[in-house]
Every structure is written in structure tokens, then in C-alpha cells.
Amino acid sequence: MEKKYVYFFGGGSAEGNRDMKDILGGKGANLAEMSGIGLPVPAGFTVSTNVCNLFTQEGNKIPAEVEEEIFQNLKKLETITQQQFGNKNNPLLLSVRSGAKFSMPGMMDTVLNLGLNDQTLEGLAQKTTNKRFAWDCYRRLIHMFGDVVLEIPKKKFEDILRKKKKENGIVNDFELTERSLTDLVTGYKELVKGETGKDFPQDVKEQLFLAISAVFKSWNNPRAKTYRRLNHIPDDLGTAVNVQLMVFGNTGEKSATGVGFTRNPATGKRELFGEYIVNAQGEDVVAGVRTPSPLKSLEIQMPDSYKELKDFTDRLEKHYSDMQDFEFTIQDDTLYMLQTRSGKRTGFAAIKIAVDMVEEGLIDQEKALMMVEPEALNQLLHPVFDAKVKENHDLLAKGLAASPGAAAGQVVFTAEEAVAGKKEGKRVILVRDETSPDDIHGMSAAQGILTATGGMTSHAAVVGRQMGKPAVVGCGDVNLNEEQKIFMIGEKKYSEGDWISIEGTLGEVLDGEIPTQPSEIMQVVRGEKNPEDSPMYERFFKFLSWADKTRKLKVRANADTPEDARIAVAFGAEGIGLARTEHMFFDKERLPFIKEMILSEAKKERKAAINKLLPFQKEDFYGLFKAMGDRPVTIRTLDPPLHEFLPRREDLMVELAVLKASQSDQKEKIQEREKLLERVKTLSEFNPMLGHRGCRLGVTYPEVIEMQASAIIEAVIQLTKEGEKVFPEIMIPLIGTREELFDQKKIVVRVAEELMEKYGIKIPYSVGTMIEIPRAAITAAEVAHEAEFFSFGTNDLTQTTYGVSRDDGAEFMAHYLTHGIWPDNPFETIDIPGVGELMKWAVEKGRQTRPDLKVGICGVHGGDPRSIVFCHKIGLNYVSCSAYQIPIARLAAAQVVLEEKRENG
Amino acid sequence: MEKKYVYFFGGGSAEGNRDMKDILGGKGANLAEMSGIGLPVPAGFTVSTNVCNLFTQEGNKIPAEVEEEIFQNLKKLETITQQQFGNKNNPLLLSVRSGAKFSMPGMMDTVLNLGLNDQTLEGLAQKTTNKRFAWDCYRRLIHMFGDVVLEIPKKKFEDILRKKKKENGIVNDFELTERSLTDLVTGYKELVKGETGKDFPQDVKEQLFLAISAVFKSWNNPRAKTYRRLNHIPDDLGTAVNVQLMVFGNTGEKSATGVGFTRNPATGKRELFGEYIVNAQGEDVVAGVRTPSPLKSLEIQMPDSYKELKDFTDRLEKHYSDMQDFEFTIQDDTLYMLQTRSGKRTGFAAIKIAVDMVEEGLIDQEKALMMVEPEALNQLLHPVFDAKVKENHDLLAKGLAASPGAAAGQVVFTAEEAVAGKKEGKRVILVRDETSPDDIHGMSAAQGILTATGGMTSHAAVVGRQMGKPAVVGCGDVNLNEEQKIFMIGEKKYSEGDWISIEGTLGEVLDGEIPTQPSEIMQVVRGEKNPEDSPMYERFFKFLSWADKTRKLKVRANADTPEDARIAVAFGAEGIGLARTEHMFFDKERLPFIKEMILSEAKKERKAAINKLLPFQKEDFYGLFKAMGDRPVTIRTLDPPLHEFLPRREDLMVELAVLKASQSDQKEKIQEREKLLERVKTLSEFNPMLGHRGCRLGVTYPEVIEMQASAIIEAVIQLTKEGEKVFPEIMIPLIGTREELFDQKKIVVRVAEELMEKYGIKIPYSVGTMIEIPRAAITAAEVAHEAEFFSFGTNDLTQTTYGVSRDDGAEFMAHYLTHGIWPDNPFETIDIPGVGELMKWAVEKGRQTRPDLKVGICGVHGGDPRSIVFCHKIGLNYVSCSAYQIPIARLAAAQVVLEEKRENG
């Protein structure tokens, strides 16, 4: 088969279709599809992504055979449009746009009005009898071409334009006279000559090939490359180039250009939603030169075009089975569709659209499940602004929605001010051009972060998400003067202490203090609102119930208290994957006993002290088991180093130094503190994370695990006697060798058998282990001889596999993420080539020894969608996450099944 | 083939031989061998190790078919000896001894005189016309049998014996009259009846089978099991049982029993060395009841027997091609050989014997290499007592040689006293019954450790070796009263402050203060002694040169200074595997600049500060390269966290608190300290080991690695211009991802190219990485794309793989080692199933990417023989260790080659 490089569309048919995104790019495939189903798309052709690689291979040259094919298609376009490219009487004008498989910032975007030169200009003017329009198109061409193809700084064109408007005393481009436009063309041409040493190309074919080449070249520019590396997009994917007949929204009052959505992308409501500008070209909408009107005005202004638009976009939504984001142009009352794609939407909208579309019969449940990004569910649980109050506050600007959540606070401009403000009990929003590692303490102190520059992977965005702080970044409308400590948005001036509110889910910056409140779903879950009064709640859980029918992974919660457990069950937890027992020790009533235990010098005293904790622990476990009913509950034995229960060493040292320096007569107190300090010093460690903790405590202080095992088993026995069914799973932390687990299991089994004997009752229980240090994973075949289950503690496993403490790494981690040394934060999503490799190995080796080994995960990654996909793929039985992440996990676990189904046909 | 369970020996032939240790055990195989080559071994038979497993499987019963075979062999023995087992006129008496493949404490050892009962006693008395002798044998039998077979506490027999001697006013056993001996038999019999409820068995076959069964049973006693677990001896190996005709060293003045060596085990001198006792049975020598005489006295006392013994043992040494440790008994002027095996020896002796035997033509060089344990070489480098002074000090006692080295100090009895003593500038020896984790600070403060109890794996032994402190443990002669703070050795009393000296290499405890001095070899290496004046030096390096001919692994040194490098070369280093650059920063002259750099707030200041270090670093590297000549030198870029260069946080906090409390007028000082504290707090980390260090510094502060790369390359350029050949290898530490290395390598390559351009010269250099965190090992295939070499940093790799900080783990690590949870200390010898698995993986994956990847190791394991064997097996190119361990490494690397040669036939 001969190779094909160029695909034609238009005139009611197309050589491509929507499934050909690999070779046509997203935009090209959708243009072909729309053409194919008979929508009015300006005719044109797509140069395929394959050419991009050839272009690079041949040293940035378009191969001759491709050139040939482009000319053939150009001919076809001329025939269909009855116009001729470069013909001075009847000139064909073109747009050139890039279009990769995935939308990608940093690449050359668009050149409009291509094909104009000093001659064709005249033809266009004559043909349209609109000289001003022709000159408007020509000055636009030279400006855009000069900027994106010839790489002349945009600002230089803008300076000329600004000067001209000032001369004429006008504000808006559309007020420019024909005369001014011709002057601009002259000025722009001089600029081009001055910058490049050459004239603006009058040969229209040269224009075309320079533009196509510029698109391909831009595929390899540094920003695009960085973006691909950060987003795992292969370099050899390439971009396509779309060459298309120009249609003009700027021919007069019967013309317009606009963008829209088939449903409301914020709420999900079924309505045509968008905006347009009369007598304008596409870039005017984006550039914000004029204020666009909402689409509903179009119904009044151009009722026929509106009706057609409504009809076309309804068809598109049905055809694509998803809410569409579209672009259109009306040229002299004729509507053209220029683009369609699935529309971005908020979590609220995503759920509503998915459920509505199933109910409307447009899609089935499985399709609905694939339409919602798991993390978007989070938005429905975050605190939100009080909607009624929000209405009364001005929306000041929109930036990138970098880290979700709503926050209000007083403006501060430095990290130090943020920290000081927090100390005074203030809520503050840190506003900066961009943040740096020096700002971390300030970011931590602030309610939210707003930056003027930077993208979704900037320092502020990365750290904001990491800290769970609402953040709006890259908000260009914020004009900041850091020295003077003011910023302007439009005409409004903000100084230190002024109130603003930010909505990180939407990227919104609002004026004043808007109070936040728990989300509607949280109100229902907490019993503060009636479920019947919340359609949102109903939709949310209906949607999740579809996920449950599909997924194979079980979903458990990390929960330490009966209250946590009840919320987890409300979110659909099928068990507890991690109950931390040490949290129970920090209670005011109990801390004295654990301190007593730690300060004991002999084993006997220690045992006596620890046994005072037994009734408390038993009560804890009783409550937890009771809340979870017959769902399994995994309890981890004592994990943190003992010094966490004592005062900090440096605090004691300072206290003592001061006591002594004061020369007051407090000998007894000094002695007591000295003794305490002595013990604290003995226990203190340089690297507590790698110290005497986890099972190492249980091995060296067996009385601790004895007490904990007794408390668990006694609670189970009591509940069993009360007629309940309880399934405790006792989990030993920080195992590195089989022998450690053997040692601890022996104690648990002995205690259990003694108690079952004592109470004359048999109860089920199992003993397993965390896999959270590399050696446990590597020797999993051995460990599985003792372990009835594994649970990956991916927090510690990531820390030890990377040799990085999450607490200490903040400074260099931000650098690593913003510079792409880490493509992702391994503490958020499982590092598949490193930590993941260990996990895979551990599952395989563990099941070789014990085929029915139950394996779960209880690190923070248990709530991360990409990690959940990985857990499914390596055959885990369950994931365990915070109660609030359970919906995410239910959906992600369903999606991976559907994805696999699709892949396997 | 029918199964064979019992092997006969004696009468000039044997069914077994020395190669059958697997089934005959060590003792049995050597008895057979000696019989086979015609030495006078009392006839007997060996019940094979296979029976041990059968015995356990059948519930501690000797299978009928084995019983049958034993009877057949007993018959044969009766025929050869012309005596009958149980015959009251001509009774055959037997010894029963255990004998596994490896000698193993904790198992039943020996029963002598078996076959005596009330009747055969009379026969023995009549036959030998020595009634006293017969009764002496009988009381010995009941005592030993009662103790080891019937498990009656030994002390109860000893109490009866002691009482009897007291009654008679005598001190020594041999002074007991016939009458006393008959009384003892009566007393012992009553004890047996009282303890077991049964009479002492009169049926001699019952005696025999009970004794054999007791040996097999003891294979599974807890002490033996623990020993096997700690020493990696499989449980199914089993022990053999040797049943042998009794010969008597206690028939009178023409009889004797003794032990000896064919060469001096302390010095290696060629001489018959040992001791004997006239008119005694074997256990008397061991028990120390009477003071034995040196073997040279035998030449005078029994010249014929001595001549024979000399002749036999010469033959044995030749036959076994190794120095032998033997046991013998002379019965009425007839010499019998009872045991032979390779003798244990000091490192000094090992080298001398090996070299001498090659020169005597007894063995070849390869055999010689296998005769010396690599770690024994260490002894020749440790400080030693001044031999002349030592002669004048009493040898007080001998214990187990738990941790090598010589030390003198004043006695202390508690860890607190040790610490206090050290503070006062005293040298102390910590003396305890046994040590526990609470004593660690005291052990650390002491010069050496002496304990009365505990074995080679006791806490004191383990921790002593770990700390490199001389230790003598399990020294039973030390009678300690910890409360009164005194100990007695014999009649001598020692109190706190008294001087003693201990020799951990030999297990010796000596009276008074013996000064230590560098070993002879160290004196030569340091140029303090002429090599020609040291035969020991000559032998040592001759021996090592044989190793060099065999080994495949290269051996490098870890060295930071030219002085270190020179010593390393003197020990045979073939390069530097690790030069740490941070040590160079701690120098008084340079520390201010590094502090200045750390306290800089802007990059420009930081760069200016760091560049002040450039001339110093260049000088450092120049010196190092020069010292190493054309050997490769691996330089690691900056590794430790920056706060290590600043004062400690808590010290500053205390200082400030005191400054403020004192209310003196030191505002400026307070401000300065506050500012410093602020920076220290910013830099301080909870877990510095997992923090901002290693390549993370170079990535975030590229000016640091730029400076270091410049210093290295400039030094190389200068030396190259001076006509030297230099091979620098620049090593980036703590890599976790390929991207980190890519980032750092880019900087090094840029700097190198700029400098080569500047100076107009090309120099060779390579860039590689440490593999010291698990992720680097797991993703080695990726990392090898950037790395030209790998060097395993097994210290950090072990810490992260285990999730254990070596500094912090001391408390639980001691528990883990003494309780066998860790069979070995992974920080001393590579943990093969865990860390080793990662290393193997990294080598394989790394070489898949880059087949000529050079791989080495530079952690402490590079000097551990077992680890070196592993490094050879997984295909490393070199090991790097401290200068003093180079001899060990050279030998271990040779031995593994010879071992493989042997295994592959």
C-alpha cells in the first residue's frame, strides 16, 4: 500500500474520522468526523502526525512526496471552493492550526488569513467589496505570522498597534480606520524586514510551507518537550497540521465568532452555554479585547443561526455521547463549525451530566463511569463557599485551578507575613508572582495561595496540591508590585490585610470574605442534612453504585475511631484496612500510663504500667468492631518510636538551662527534669524513622504486643458473646525479616489461645504484616510463610525505597517536581518503576508461598486513582484509604476494569 | 544397594575415611582415616548421621534395622578385642562420643567406661588386678552417665564428691582411696534412684542404647538448635555417634592422657606443643583438676611413647597437609590416638604455618591460601602488647577470644563508672557477669570488655566486635560479686581501679597494665621499622602475593588524604574506590567558607563563597592523585547534609536561652545567634539520613558540584601537564533516579569540556554513581544509561533496605543478634537474601544496558570476607575497603576463586 500523508475533508465527506486521532490529531479527527456526518465545516486537509517525525528526521524539511500530496489536496480544495490560492482576483485564504493527539501547551497554535499578499489583498477587497475588512485581515496575518512563524517578539507588533491607537485616540481594534490599518501593515512589514532581514513573504506557497514547518518545529521546542516529559507523552507521537478554508467572523454585523458547551460545565445543567462576539475573528474571543456576549443573546440577535447551532451541537452531543466544547464562526449569516471536543467540566457537572445522560438514554452506565475523572469526585466533598453569599461578591479574575478547595483570607505578600499573621490568629492568602522553596513555611501558614505566573506544574501548584491548600496560579490579571506590597486587578487595588476569596476548584479569585461551609454531601454524610433533600447526594451514590457492580478491588478505609468508622461506612467502606493503635495512646487519660511504661527501668514495672492501658484499648477496639459490624477490621500494633510520647529533648534542655541559670532554689524540679531528660536522651534518635519503632518495639518489649493482642481478642470475645460476628486482622508493622514476624505472631497466637481457652469460645482472627520496607518486599516469599495477609504501607515503602523522608524532603522535592527530575510526586502516586516493582515482586513471591494470600494497601496511595489502577493490575485484593477518598477509589477501581475490557476487545 | 548405617574401624583398616564427614561426622571420619593408615586407634564403629534423622522421625527411637547393625558391629568389636560386652570376667568397656560434621557446642559430648555394672566391675578389677582403678572407672561412669544421659544436674554429683573429699581431708581426686570410691558409687547410685525413680541401669546394652539415644536427642536440644541457626547449619545434617573400645590413661604411672598440636598454635613454630597428665582419664585434662605437664616433659618421662607420638603426629600432619590438633592416651606404655583434626591457631601462627609448609614442600601455594582465615590477618595489624613486658605479667585466666585486640585498663563494674572514668581521662576495662543493652554507653567508653559468662554470640561478644573493642567473654575463672564490686581469679582479688590487661585475640586475661604498641607489620608500613628486620612482614606480603596471582576481583581502598593513600598502596591497593570530599571541608581553614556558603541567602553570594574553596579542593585532589600514580581514583561529590557543618540546633537553643535569661546586655550577640539559629532550624531535619544530602545537594545547589568538578579536572590537567597519568572517576552519591544522575553528569561534563578547551588538553575521566538506595538498584537498567560505573554503597543500601539506621539501632540490634532474629549483623556482612538480591539485580540490569559497566563496592562490607565472596559471585570488578582491610580482601578474593575451582572439579 502506498503511504498516505494528507487527509482531505469537506463537501459533506472526509477521508478521516474521529477514531484516527493517532494520525490526524484530536482537532483533525474531529473536523473529519463533523464533515463526515454532514455538518458545515470549512473544507480543508490534515497533514498527518507521521509527517512530523519525517520532518524532524530530515533535518526540519518537509519531504518532497509529502509536498506533492499537499499540493494535490490544495488543488482539490481550490476545486471545491471555486477559489484559487494566490489568485489575485479570487484568492483562497487558509488557516493553519496544529493538532496533536493530546492538547499540548507550548506548541505553535494558529495562523489565520494565510494566502494574503499585496496582490490578493486587492482581490479580497474587490470580491467582498470591503476594503477595510481586507486590510484588517492582512494586518492580522502579518502580526500572527510574524509572531508564531518568524518568531518576532509579539510585543513589538503590539507596541506599533498601541502607538497607532494612541495617535488616533481610540481604545478598541475595531475602531481602527482603513487608513490606520494600511499604516499598520506598512509598520509591520518594516518590523519584519528589520527583524529577519527579509521581506514578509509575498509567495503564498512559501507562506503555507513556512507555517506548516513552524508547527512541526514547535513540536520540539523546549516548553513542549518539558510538557511531554511531565505528562508521559512519547516524543515520537508527533503533531498533525490542519489547513482549512478561512471563514470570516469579521465581515460585518451579520458575522460573529464564538465558543460554547452543550451543557453548563460548572453545574452540568442541560443548556447551551458559551459566548460570542459579533464582527470578530477567533483570537478576539480568547484575547479578551472585547467583552463577549452570552450565547442566549445570539438567540435574539441571530435567531436562525442560533437554531442551527442548537441543532448541530445537539447532534454532536448525541453523536459523541458526551458533553461537547465547540467553536463556531458565522460569516454573513452562514454558520460554520470549526471545532468540537469533549468539554472540561467541574466534578459537580461531571456527575450530573453522567447520571443525566444515562437517564436520558444517551449512554449506558459503563460509559457514564468512564466520563468522570475519579479525582473530580473530591470537589463534591471539599468545603465550598456559601453559594448565596458568593453571588454578592465580585469575580475578580480567573487563573488556573491548581489545587481544589475554597478559602478566604487577608492578603499577605511574603512568607514571613503569612507566618506572623497565622500566629496572630488571622486567616491569610499568600499572594506572590510565583513561589519558591523559601516560601514553604508561609504556604503552610496560609489558607490558600494565589500567584500571577506559573502553570499547573509550577512550585505553587505542586506544593499547594501536596499540602492540600486551595491554590489559583498563573492568574495573569493580577498585576503585582511585590516591593510596594500591592496588587491591581483591573482598576481594583489590594493591599496587605484586604480580604479576598479563592476557589481552587474553578480557578476563581473573588473580592472580600466569603464564608465556607461543608459541602452538601458532607452535610448528609455527617447527618446534618436529610438525604431526601439532596438530589446531589442521591446522584453521587447512584453513580458510585454503578462502579460497585463493575470493580474487582475491594475498598476499605483507614480509620482509628468508631466515629471515623461510621463515616467510612457511609461512604461505602467494606472494611478497615488500617486502624492505628498509637492514636489511642495520645489521649489525655492514657498518656500518663504510656509515659510511666516508657520511664520504667525494669520489665516488671513496665508490664504493670502497660497493663493499665488494657481496659482502654479493649474499649477502643470494642467500639471500632461494633461500628464495622461483620466487615473485616485490620488493627496495626504499636508503631511510633516511644520518644514521641515524651517531651522533646531540646525543649527539656532549654527548660533545664533556664532553670539552672535562674539560680532559683528548685533543686527537686531540676532533678526531676534531669532524670526525664536522661531518659529522653537515651531514647532520642538521629533518624527516628529508621529507629526503634514498629515491630522492633514489640520484639524488644513483648509486653506491649501482649497487651494489645489481649485487648483485641478480649473485645472480639465480648462481641461474639453478644452475638456479633467480628473479623479482626492483626497487623504487625515494619517487618524486615520473617523472624520478626515469627516472633510477634507467636505472642499473638499464644495470647489468643490462652484467652479462648479462658473464656471457652473460639473466634476467628488472622495475623499478617505491613510490607513497608524494601527488605520485606524482597524477601516476601519467606515472610509469607508467617503472614496470612500483606498490606503495603506505601508511605514508608516509598520513603525507604527512595531514601527520602517525606517530612524533610520538602525543600528539594519541590525543586525536583518543578524541574521534572521526578515526573510525579512518589508520595502521591505510586512510583511504578521503583516502588511498584517491589510491590509486584512481593505479590508474586508472596503468593508463590501462600496462594490465597490476601494483599492490600493502606498508604496514602490507596486513595490515588493512578495507584489504584496499578494495585488492580498487580492483583491486590483491596485498597484502603481515608473515608473521603472512598468514592474516588470505588470509581477508579471500576474504570480500570472497563479499561481492561476495552483493551481486550 | 542395601542401606548401611554403621561403619566399623580398627585392626588396621576401616569402612570409612576422612572424606565421609557428611555421614560419619568429623570425629568419626578422622578415626576411620587414622585406622586406615595404620595408626593405633582403639577399634570401634560409627553410627552414621542418617540415623539421627531416622531417630527423630520415629519419635526418638532407634530403628530396629539400625539396632541390628549395631549389634553386628559390637560382635565384630568383641571378636577383634577378644573381650565381651557385659561379660563379668572379661568385660568390654566402651566410650560413646557425639560427632557432627561441624563441631557444635550444646550437644552431648562423651560417656566413658560404658559397660561397667556391679558384675563387670569385679571382672575389670580381677583382669587388671587393680581394684581401685575399677572402682574409679565405675564412679566416673555413673557420674558422666547420670549427668549427660539421665540429665541429673552435674552439681549434685559434684556436691557428693566434694563432701567425700572434705571428709577425707584431701584435695585431689587421685588421692581418693578405694574405700572412698566405693562409697561414692553408693552415693551416686542413691542419687540416680532418687532423681529418676529408677536404679542405675545394670543392663550394659541398655546403657549403650540410652547413651546413643542421648547423643541423638541432644542434636535437637535448644542450645544446639540456636547454635545451628546462628551458624547456618542445616537441621537435617544430623550427628553421628562414635562407639569405641575404652583405653585407660588412669591405670597407673605408666599411663597418661593428653592433647597437643603439631606446631605451636600461637606462634606457628614447628614443635610438638601440648600437655598431658599421668594416670588420668581424658576429662581430667579438660576439667583442670590437676595441672598438666607440657609435652616436652613426656620425652623424659616416657621416651618411647614420646618418640612414637612424634612419629605418628608427623605422619598425620603430612597426611592431612595441615597442622593437627590431636588427643592421645597411653595405657601401660602403649600409645593410642583418639582424635585428630586441623588445629585452631592465631593469625600469626596461621601465616607462618602456611608459608613454612609451602617452603617445606608439604603443600602448594593454593593449599596455603585456603589454610588462613581472612579475618585472622587482622590480628597481625592490631596493636599488641609489648611482648617483653607481657612476659612479666601473670596470665590470670583464659576465656573466649570474642573480639580481637589488646587493651589495658583499670577495672570498673558498671557502665556508669566506665563513662565517668573515661571523662576523667582514665582507661578502663568493663568487667561484668554479662552485658545487656543498658551497658552500651559503658562498653563504648571502655578500652575492653571482660565477662564471666556467655559465648561467642553473647551480647558482649556481639557488641564488642561491632564496636571493634577487645573482648574476652565466658571467662569462668572470673568469680564476680557485682554488688561488692570485686572479682576473684583463683586467690587473687580485684577491686575497682585495679589494673588488668586483656588480649581479645587469644582470650587472655593478664594482671596489671601492659603497654600496647603498633604491630610489627604496622610499624614497617608506617616506615617506623625496616622491612628487612621483619620476617613477619616478609612472610605476610609473600603470602598475599600468592593471593594476587589467583584472585579476579581488584582491591581498592577508601582513602581521603594522600597519607591514607600511601598506606593503602603499601597494603596493595590497586586504586581508590572512595574518596570522600566532605572530610576536606571540615578543616579549620575551610570551614568558615562552607559556613559562609550555607548562610548565603542568594545564589550569587553562595557561589562566591563556594568558589573560595576551589583552590583548597584542587590541592586536595592533586595530592591524592599524585599519591596514587596511575591507579584509578574515585572521588565522591559532596554527600552530607549541610547542617553538619553548622553548630547543633539544641546547643544554640540552650546558649540563647541562657543568654536571654542572664539579662546581660548582649543584644548584638543574641541577634547574631538568633539569625544563625533561624538558618540552622530551616536546615535541620527529623531524619537527616533521608533528607537533603547526596546528589540532592548538587541538584539544588549546582554551584557546589560545579566547584568540585572544576577542582578535580584542574588537578588532573595540572598533573597531566607535569607528565603524570591520572584516571579520575567522578562519583555522584545517593542517586535514586536516572534523571538525578543526568542532571549532575551534565554539569560535570560541561565543566570538564570548558576546562579542557581552556587549557587546550584532553584528559580521561568518567562519571558514575553510588548505588546506595533501593530505587537506584531497582531501576539500574535506566541508571546505567547515564552511569559509566556503579559503586555499591552498602552502608546506606543496608540502612534503607532494612529501614534501620545503624546509629540509632544499637539498642534493638543487640537484641536482634543475641536472639537470632538477625542471624548476622547486616552492617558487617552483606545480607544476601535482602540487600544482596538488590545488588545482584542491579549488576544484571545495569550490564544489560551497558555490558562493560564497571561495578564495585565501597561500603564497609568491602572488607568483610563473606561479603567479598558474594561480590565475586555476582561479578563485581572490585571491592574497596579501608587500607587495613586490604590484606583480608586480597585473601578472601583469592579463596573464593579456589573454592569455585574445587566445586567445579
What would the mean pLDDT of B170-190 be, rounded to a whole number?
A: 92
Set of cell numbers at residue A141: 496575518
> Which ranges of A169-280 does DSSP label H, i.e. alpha helix?
178-196, 204-219, 222-230
- Of A426-430, A670-674, B137-141, the poorest mean pLDDT is in A670-674
pLDDT at A1 over 60: no
pLDDT at A664: 66
B686 with A691: Cβ contact below 8 A? no
Residue A834 touches chain B, beta carbons under 8 Å: yes
Q: Could you read off the pLDDT of A208-255 as tens digits, one per residue?
A: 999 999 999 999 887 788 778 767 788 889 999 999 999 999 888 999
Q: Could you read off the pLDDT of B582-623 as tens digits, one per residue?
A: 877 877 888 888 888 888 877 888 899 999 999 999 999 999
Residue A136 touches chain B, beta carbons under 8 Å: no
- SS3 state of residue B430: strand
A803 with B800: Cβ contact below 8 A? yes
| Complex confidence, ipTM | 0.85
Q: Rounded distance, CA B518 to CA B304, Å?
A: 45
- Of A358-372, B393-407, B690-704, B738-752, the poorest mean pLDDT is in B393-407
Chain B partners of A801 at a C-beta cutoff of 8 Å? 773-775, 778, 800
Set of cell numbers at residue A515: 464564608
Among A686, A699, A799, whose Cβ lies nearest the Cβ of B805? A686
Q: Which of B12, B75, B125 lies closest to B243 in space, CA to CA?
A: B75
φ, ψ of residue A852 in degrees (nearest 5): -95, 20
pLDDT at B530 over 80: yes
What would the mean pLDDT of B364-372 be, rounded to a whole number?
A: 97
Average model confidence (pLDDT) for chain A?
92
Instruction: Give the percent of chain A with pLDDT over 70.
Output: 98
User: Distance between the two ends of chain B, CA-based, in angstroms?
Assistant: 27
Q: Could you read off the pLDDT of A523-547 as tens digits, one per residue?
A: 999 889 999 999 999 999 999 999 9
Among B649, B812, B838, whose Cβ lies nearest the Cβ of A699? B812
pLDDT at A663 over 80: no
- B-contacting residues of A 634-673, CB under 8 Å? 649-650, 653-654, 657-658, 661-662
Q: Pick the most confident of A128-132, A466-470, B332-336, B342-346.
A: B332-336
pLDDT at B298 over 70: yes
B774 with A800: Cβ contact below 8 A? yes
Query: Residues near A503 by Cβ (< 8 Å), separated by ≥ 6?
Result: A385, A401, A406, A470, A472, A510
Q: What residue type is A320 in one-letter code?
A: Y
pLDDT at B844 over 80: yes
pLDDT at B545: 98
Q: Could you read off the pLDDT of B720-741 as tens digits, one per residue?
A: 999 999 999 999 999 999 999 9
The minimum CA-CA distance between B691 and chain A, rounded to whole Å, is 5
Instruction: Give the percent of chain A with pLDDT over 90.
Output: 73
Residues B474-510, buried b or exposed e (16+ Cβ, 10 A)? bbeebebeeeebbbebeeeebeeebbbbbbbbbbbbb
Residue A324 touches chain B, beta carbons under 8 Å: no
Chain B partners of A773 at a C-beta cutoff of 8 Å? 801-803
A692 with B808: Cβ contact below 8 A? yes
Chain A partners of B799 at a C-beta cutoff of 8 Å? 690
Query: Residues near A197 by Cβ (< 8 Å), separated by ≥ 6?
Result: none
Chain B partners of A639 at a C-beta cutoff of 8 Å? none
Residue B268's pLDDT band (boundaries 50, 70, 90)? Answer: very high
Average model confidence (pLDDT) for chain B?
92
Residue B84 touches chain A, beta carbons under 8 Å: no
Residues B139-161, buried b or exposed e (16+ Cβ, 10 A)? bbbbbbbbbbbbebeeebbeebb
Q: Which of A708, A709, A730, A715 lies closest to A761 in space, CA to CA?
A: A715
DSSP annotation of B665 reads S
CB A404 within 8 A of CB A473: no
pLDDT at A655: 86
Half-sphere exposure of A555 (CA within 13 A, CB side): 33
pLDDT at A466: 65
pLDDT at A175: 86
Q: Could you read off the pLDDT of B227-254 as tens digits, one per residue?
A: 787 677 888 899 999 999 999 998 889 9
Residue A809: closest C-alpha in chain B: B691
Between B794-802 and B837-849, two packed helices, what is the crossing angle to 10 degrees? 120
pLDDT at A2 over 80: no
Residue A39's pLDDT band (boundaries 50, 70, 90)? Answer: very high
- A-contacting residues of B 354-373, CB under 8 Å? none
Residue B689 touches chain A, beta carbons under 8 Å: yes
Among B649, B688, B803, whose Cβ lies nearest the Cβ of A736? B803
pLDDT at B831 over 70: yes
B295-to-B257, B288, B322, B341, B346 alpha-carbon distances in Å = 11, 16, 20, 18, 20
Residue B851 touches chain A, beta carbons under 8 Å: no
Residues A646-685, buried b or exposed e (16+ Cβ, 10 A)? beeebebbbbbbbbebeeeeeeeeeeebeebbebbeebbb
Show the 3-state SS of B475-491: CCCEEEECCCCEEEECC
Q: Rounded distance, CA B652 to CA B683, Å?
A: 14
- A-contacting residues of B 732-771, CB under 8 Å? 734, 736-737, 739-740, 743
Chain A partners of B638 at a C-beta cutoff of 8 Å? none
Residue A818: closest C-alpha in chain B: B700
pLDDT at B126 over 60: yes
Residue A831 touches chain B, beta carbons under 8 Å: yes
Residue in the block written with cell 549483623: B825
Among B692, B700, B778, whose Cβ lies nearest the Cβ of A808? B692
A691 with B805: Cβ contact below 8 A? yes
Q: Which of B744, B725, B724, B726 lies closest to B734 in space, CA to CA?
A: B744
Chain A partners of B774 at a C-beta cutoff of 8 Å? 774, 800-801, 803, 834, 838
Residue B106's pLDDT band (boundaries 50, 70, 90)? Answer: low
pLDDT at B806: 85
φ, ψ of residue A337 in degrees (nearest 5): -95, 130
pLDDT at B811 over 90: no
Q: Rounded distance, CA A266 to CA A269, Å?
A: 8
Set of cell numbers at residue B587: 578543616
A737 with B821: Cβ contact below 8 A? yes
What would the mean pLDDT of A710-734 be, rounded to a whole number?
A: 97
CB B489 within 8 A of CB B478: yes
What would the mean pLDDT of A783-802 be, rounded to a whole number?
A: 97
B800 with A805: Cβ contact below 8 A? no
Q: Rounded distance, CA B732 to CA B791, Å?
A: 10
Residue B818 touches chain A, beta carbons under 8 Å: no
Q: Could you read off the pLDDT of A70-105 as tens digits, one per residue?
A: 999 999 999 999 999 999 999 999 999 999 998 776
Residue A291 touches chain B, beta carbons under 8 Å: no
Q: Is A726 exposed, middle or buried (0-12, 13-18, 19+ CB in 10 A)?
A: buried
Among A658, A740, A778, whose Cβ lies nearest the Cβ of B661? A658
Residue A840 touches chain B, beta carbons under 8 Å: no
Chain A partners of B778 at a C-beta cutoff of 8 Å? 801, 833-834, 837-838
pLDDT at A283 over 80: no
Chain B partners of A696 at a C-beta cutoff of 8 Å? 812
Q: How many CB pairs under 8 A join A and B?
A: 191
Among A658, A796, A801, whose Cβ lies nearest the Cβ of B657? A658
- A-contacting residues of B 500-519, CB under 8 Å? none
Set of cell numbers at residue A235: 516524543
DSSP per residue, B266-318 = TT--SS-EEEEEES--HHHHHHTSSPPEEHHHHHHHSHHHHHHHHHHHHHHHH
SS3 content of chain B, % helix, strand, coil (to 5): 50, 15, 30
Q: Rounded distance, CA A224 to CA A103, Å?
A: 11
pLDDT at A692: 93
Chain B partners of A812 at a C-beta cutoff of 8 Å? 692, 696, 699-700
pLDDT at A437 over 90: no
Q: Rounded distance, CA B342 to CA B326, Å?
A: 9
A700 with B837: Cβ contact below 8 A? no
Residue in the block written with cell 539421627: B52
Set of cell numbers at residue B820: 537470632
- SS3 state of residue A11: coil
Instruction: Give the percent of chain B with pLDDT over 70.
Output: 98
Residue B803 touches chain A, beta carbons under 8 Å: yes
pLDDT at B494 over 80: yes
Residue A602 touches chain B, beta carbons under 8 Å: no
Chain A partners of B659 at a C-beta cutoff of 8 Å? none
Chain A partners of B648 at a C-beta cutoff of 8 Å? none
DSSP annotation of A638 reads P
What would the mean pLDDT of B49-64 be, rounded to a whole number?
A: 94
Give B732's strand partners.
B769
